[in-house]
Amino acid sequence: MTTAPTPVPTPAAADLGGGAGAPGTATPEPLAARSAPTPRRRRGGSRAWLAALPLLVFFAVGFGLPTIAIAIGAFTTSTDSPDGGGAFTTDNLTNSLQGAYWTALFGSIKLSLLTALIGTVVGLPLAQAVVTSRFRMFREAVLSGSGVLANFGGVPLAFMFVATLGNAGEVTKKFGLTKHGWNLYTFTGLSVVYLYFLVPLMILTITPALEGLRVQWREAAHNNRATTFQYWRHVALPVLLPSLLGGFVLLFGASFAAYATAEAMVGSSVPLISMQIGDALSGNVLVGQGNLALALGLDMIVVACLVMAIYLPLQRRSAKWLA
């Protein structure tokens, strides 16, 4: 007569059976105790902001104090006023939104909107061509060139266009552009000059967003028999929309703040708020309106703040979608 062998308890049986005092069994650990991560203390976390202290000080001195001075001066009378200056007034701000000053402000906004729109529409396909290029040298050359051209402006840029597309420029004389109504020293000519640095800026801005598009999204669209147009309309463009709007706002701000190029090329033939500020600072104002330039500067600061208020949320949403 044989006896059945005694079964050896497995780890699973030891975990499931028996109480805390059962011999040969392990006491099960609570699930929360096993899965809860051990908190780590950050040493010096409260002092991490000290690394950004120099930047904060520079920002306060370079931007904060001038902004406060402009805001105060915009609402006070100048020293050449009959009351001796320093009195509170809203005349400066009122005059900055009337007559030639309002025309200049509207002209700057119109120029910035037009060039930003064209720069966004032209820069997107160029950036897509760079991203999808198989030639690494071509990609690096375009991005490096865009970085240079996006910061190339001022008097050298104006001189370059005057020498090539001006009334006596080489390209103008060779192709007879003046016979076809071309004139560099107009609103249209200034827009062409601004696009010279706005399109490269758009390429630099939208390239990271284009790189964030997943290859699997395009493959999934093609597997569902979607055309390239349908992919861009229903997948790519909705994802890129925050980045596109953010790039448009960034181009608008760059065009709105440009001064030296327009001053050196068109002068006062194209009314812009930046050149009105330059004239007011040089004393080209009526008696008692010495602080009018500060009011015009405050108008530009308000527009710039509105631009940044739109740009920052769009950048955050774009980064979240493409992460």
Question: Does residue 15 form part of some domain?
Answer: no
| DSSP string across 294-313 | HHHHHHHHHHHHHHHHHHHH
Q: What is the pLDDT of residue 42?
A: 53
Question: Does residue 217 form part of some domain?
Answer: yes
CA distance 5 to 125: 78
> What is the CATH classification number for the domain harbouring 179?
1.10.3720.10
Number of domains in the chain: 1
Domain that holds residue 122: 67-321
The model's pTM is 0.77
Q: What is the pLDDT along the chain (323 residues), one digit of tens a residue?
A: 444 455 544 444 444 444 444 444 444 555 444 545 555 555 555 577 788 888 889 988 888 898 899 999 889 888 777 776 778 888 888 988 988 899 999 999 999 999 999 999 999 999 999 998 888 888 899 999 999 999 888 888 999 999 999 988 899 989 988 888 899 999 999 999 999 999 999 999 999 889 888 888 888 988 988 898 899 988 888 888 888 988 998 899 899 988 889 998 988 788 999 888 888 877 777 776 778 888 988 998 898 888 888 877 877 776 666 65
Question: Does residue 123 form part of some domain?
Answer: yes
The CA radius of gyration of the chain, in Å to the nearest whole number, is: 32
Q: What is the pLDDT of residue 17?
A: 42
CA distance 234 to 217: 11
Question: Does residue 131 form part of some domain?
Answer: yes
Quick one: which of 186, 195, 190 has its CA closest to 158? Answer: 190
Question: Does residue 19 form part of some domain?
Answer: no
Question: Does residue 34 form part of some domain?
Answer: no
Q: Which residue do the tokens 């760059």 mark? A: 254
Question: Does residue 196 form part of some domain?
Answer: yes
Question: Does residue 120 form part of some domain?
Answer: yes
